[in-house]
Structure 1
């Protein structure tokens, strides 16, 4: 589990929180601190004060896959295959193991047809899927994904979520404005002005707190 205590950083002010294993969706209005929380949990930023521990470890001690909301910020190599293989190569995995894993993960995200492409030629949605595959290639303990839905069409968003379920990561944190994606998560955190206003299962939070707001999932709103 993820334990947060006395966390202060920028707008964020979280006295205490426990995030269980599984998929946690982080939602809230723009400027509520969602992306900052993700960067702190992933270890990309260090809190001004307070602490975050993941299974008792500092976030920087974990194997973490991080996907930025900006597709062009995710890649460091020119070819799709090399990008997905990068984390394995950095750990000196053998060629056969690397090739097998790239084949597996690209198939999982349904992007095998992109392996020989240059990343600069991809669409925004394709870049996101490549970034996700790259982040998951080495089976990270923690997978952090910042607003992937804004670059994905509905079909790709469904592939994304189903694929993420099968990555094997114990902790998956997704920041999103897509309430349908939120509704599929195991746990939900709703931020407001840097604080956790609601936390629980999506069903509990939508039914008890967000039913008459714009955050209520559209497909739920129009069910008879």
Structure 2
């Protein structure tokens, strides 16, 4: 469980919130504080005041996988295999375990064919998928993903949406502009001007509060 208390940082002003285990989608208009919230949850930023605890721990005490919304900010190494293997090597995993896990996670995200490619030759969407695989490779307890769909085509977005839950992380926080992806989460947070305006099951939030807005999943309108 993630507990937020009296959190203030920039535009963010959240008195109290509890986020359950599983996948939580964070949505809202541009400038509502989504990326800032994700960086604080992941431990990248320290809030001006207030606190966030995850399973009773400070975010910086956890094994965390973080994927930035900017693909070029995610990579350290020149070759895809080395990039995905990096978190395992930093923890001194043996070579056979590293190879097994790299193959497993690259298959999960449908990028096995990219393992020998140089990072600089990849498209933005391919870089995002490699970043996801790298972030998930060592089974982090917390996985934070900032707007992956900004760079993914429809096929890659579906691979991401279908498989992110299979990464093994206890907490997965995804900021997304894809309402179909958001609708598949177990929990939904709608931010407005730095505050949590709505939180709960996606179906309830979309139907009760967002049906007449641009945030309502387009496919739902077609099916209904």
TM-score band w.r.t. shorter chain:
over 0.9
Counterpart check, 1:142 vs 2:132: no
Q: By how many angstroms is 1:161 displaced? A: 1.4
- The answer as to 2:115 corresponding to 1:98 is no
Query: What's the secondary structure of 1:163's corresponding residue?
Result: helix
Secondary structure of the 1:169 match is coil
Question: Whole-Å Cα distance in 1 between the matches of residues 213 and 89 of structure 2?
Answer: 47
Residue in 1 aligned with 2:188? 188
User: C-alpha displacement at 1:163, in angstroms?
Assistant: 1.6
Match of 2:215 in 1: 215
**Structure 2 partner of 1:33:** 33
User: Alpha-carbon deviation of 1:27?
Assistant: 0.2
Measured in 1, the distance between the counterparts of 2:177 and 2:111 equals 24
Aligned to 1:81: 81
Secondary structure at the aligned position of 2:167 is classed as: coil
Looking at structure 1, the residues matched to 64 and 93 of structure 2 have their Cα atoms a distance apart, in angstroms, of 17
Determine if the alignment matches structure 1 residue 66 to structure 2 residue 66: yes
Dislocated runs of 4+, deviation >3 Å: none
- CA–CA distance in structure 2, aligned partners of residues 103 and 62 of structure 1: 25
- In structure 2, the residue matched to 1:107 is 107
Q: 1:155-199: CA deviations, max 9, x gaps? A: 110101122110000000000111111001000000000000000
Residues 14-60 of structure 1: CA deviation (Å, up to 9, x unaligned): 00000000000000000000000000000000010000000000000
Number of residue pairs matched by the alignment: 224
| Equivalent position of 2:130 in the other structure | 130
- 1:18 equivalent to 2:18? Answer yes
Matched residues in 1 for 2:59 and 2:45: separation? 10
Q: What are the ranges of 5 or more consecutive residues in structure 1 without an aligned counterpart? A: none
Structure 2 length normalisation: TM-score?
0.99
**3-state DSSP of counterpart to 1:116:** coil
Query: What is aligned with 1:158?
Result: 158
Q: 1 CA distance for matches of 2:171 and 2:69?
A: 19
Q: Secondary structure at the match of 1:40?
A: helix
- 5+ residue gaps, structure 2, are none
Q: Distance in 2 between matches of 1:46 and 1:190?
A: 22
TM-score, normalised via structure 1 length: 0.99
Alignment RMSD (CA, Å): 0.5
Cα distance per residue 1:43-102 (max 9 Å; x no partner):
000010000000000000000000000000000000000000000000011011111110
Q: Which residue of 1 aligns with 2:42?
A: 42
Question: Partner of 1:126: helix, strand, or coil?
Answer: helix
1:209 CA drift (Å): 0.2
Q: Provide the rounded CA distance (Å) in 1 between the counterparts of 2:140 and 2:36.
A: 20
